Every structure is written in structure tokens, then in C-alpha cells.
Amino acid sequence: MTTPSDNEQDWRQKLTPEQYHVCWEKGTEPAFTGKYTDCTATGIYHCVCCSQPLFSSENKFHSGCGWPSFWKALHADTLTQIEDTTHGMRRVEVTCTNCGAHLGHVFPDGPPPTGLRYCINSVAIDLQVSS
């Protein structure tokens, strides 16, 4: 797995400052500002850092939380879940299994059939639209 300390300069050249902040400094984009929050295009969402496929638009839903939300990952092994107790909260961070980039968090308040809500930063993903 590649980490930001392995090649920080390469990541800073590849990513925008906001993408770097979210993916490697565990930042969060402001709610309701991401380009995929209200996106309804069909396709596959990939990790912006390593291009690993992460989510299908078929599993995307409008949660009203201000970030793109998905009720399941494309494949179970594409995401790593890590306990996050920062900011006085108990949450579960979601990272890309392939490169370790921070994507967002997962919450147990999503729709059936999983009951999960993967709350993902738009700048951490890239939609490849189906033709």
C-alpha cells in the first residue's frame, strides 16, 4: 500500500490541494459543495488517487447529508474501515484498501438492504460514466 509519506511530492503534484487535504490529511469538503452530491449520472466511482473502482451509481442515494451517499461498496474488499474517535465523536472512517486514501465515513443509518450510509467526499472519488 502506498501512503502519503512514501511519495508526498508525487501526491501533491497529482492531486489538487483540496484532494490532497481530504485524502491524505483526512479532511472533509464543506457539505453541499461537492460535484457528486446531487449527481445522477450512471457509472462507477473510482478512488481519485489510485483509480480503484469503489462504488456503483446503482447504489447511490440522496441522503440529504450534503455528501454523496452509497448504501454499499462495489466490492467488499475495496474499502477499509477504521475506528475514528476524533472531534469527540465515534465514527467509522472509510479508506481505499488499495492506496489508503481517506474517502469519508460509514454510518448505520442508510436504506435497506444494508442499512448503511457511506458518506463520501466528492473530491476523493472520480465518476467514470457508462456509455
- Residue 47 is assigned to a ligand binding site: yes
- Residue 50 is assigned to a ligand binding site: yes
Q: Which of 19, 36, 20 is nearest to 118 (CA)?
A: 36
- Residue 39 is assigned to a ligand binding site: no
Q: Which residues are catalytic?
A: 119
Please return the burial class of 43, using the count of CB atoms within 10 Å of its CB with bins 0-12, 13-18 and 19+: middle
The C-alpha atoms of residue 62 and residue 67 are separated, in whole angstroms, by 9
The C-alpha atoms of residue 102 and residue 24 are separated, in whole angstroms, by 6
Binding site residue list: 47, 50, 96, 99
Which parts are annotated binding residues for Zn(2+)?
47, 50, 96, 99
